[in-house]
Structure 1
């Protein structure tokens, strides 16, 4: 029997996201202010400032909407793919691996979570709603010879799929 499960989770904005937006707004205002001061000393500067302001508004829009992140989990017969979707317009593959190759998959409350989290040899892949969520799970695996640790919020069907393909390494309690 084939197993196919998809899940879409939306990342909550955190303080880092708000700082990025604030820095973008302040930077755009500073550039417009400096160009405004130059407007009176250089002829035709008003037109240039208008063009630059339009460009800055567009870039600011792109920056603000780029923090709207969703993650798509796709579990197909043991193969697990994670994509990041930026503002429903751009998709990027974050990682892919087979459930049979997982070293461990468990909830954040598992005793091994901190050990793997503090181990710098594992690259962290964040595809979760919130890093501090009580429903956060982690999966440790190898991809192209390097150790990775995925932090994600799988639903019950995806967790059961992992358990079916690798029952010894998946801890759901």
Structure 2
């Protein structure tokens, strides 16, 4: 029997996201403010400056919409694929792992969480709605000989599927 579970999780905006947006807006306004008077001083360059301003506004739009992030978890027969979806238009594979090969899967409240989180030996992969959420789980695994720590917010079905595939390494509290 095939197992297929899919879940979409919308990332909540954090302070860094709002700082990116604010910095982009301030930078765009500053550049437009500085280029505006040049249109009158150098009339031949007016069209080029106008194109630069339009391009800048488009880049600002891309920056603002790039913080609209969703994560997709697809659990298929013991394999978990995690993708980031940026503004519903661009998909990027963050990681893939096999449930049978994980070292540990547990909730954030697990005593081992801080030890792994503070260890530089594990590359952190954030694919969660809220980094401080109570429903946050972490998975410790190896990929290409490198230790990784996936932080994600799976629904109970996915947690249960992991537990069935690798009961000794999945701690459900």
Question: Normalising by the residue count of structure 2, what TM-score does the alignment of the two structures yield?
Answer: 0.97
Partner of 1:13: 13
The answer to whether the 8 A contact 2:38-2:46 is kept is no
Tell me how far 1:49 sits from its aligned partner: 2.6
> Secondary structure of the equivalent of 1:59?
helix
Partner of 1:149: 149
User: C-alpha deviations, 1:110-157, integer Å up to 9, x for none?
Assistant: 000000000001000000001000110000000011000000000011
User: C-alpha deviations, 1:45-76, integer Å up to 9, x for none?
Assistant: 33223212211111111110000000000001
The answer to whether the 8 A contact 1:4-1:77 is kept is yes
Tell me how far 1:33 sits from its aligned partner: 1.2
Partner of 1:83: 83
> Secondary structure of the equivalent of 2:131?
coil
Partner of 2:163: 163
Measure the CA separation in 2 of the matches of 1:144 and 1:168: 23
Measure the CA separation in 2 of the matches of 1:87 and 1:162: 29
Structure 1 unaligned spans of 5+? none
The answer to whether the 8 A contact 1:32-1:49 is kept is no
Partner of 2:70: 70
Measure the CA separation in 2 of the matches of 1:40 and 1:153: 54
Partner of 1:110: 110
Structure with a larger share of its residues in helix: 2
> Secondary structure of the equivalent of 1:148?
strand
Tell me how far 1:44 sits from its aligned partner: 2.5
Measure the CA separation in 1 of the matches of 2:39 and 2:77: 63
> Secondary structure of the equivalent of 2:161?
helix
Tell me how far 1:30 sits from its aligned partner: 1.1
> Secondary structure of the equivalent of 1:83?
strand
Structure 1 stretches of at least 4 aligned residues deviating more than 4 Å after TM superposition: none
Measure the CA separation in 1 of the matches of 2:10 and 2:39: 44
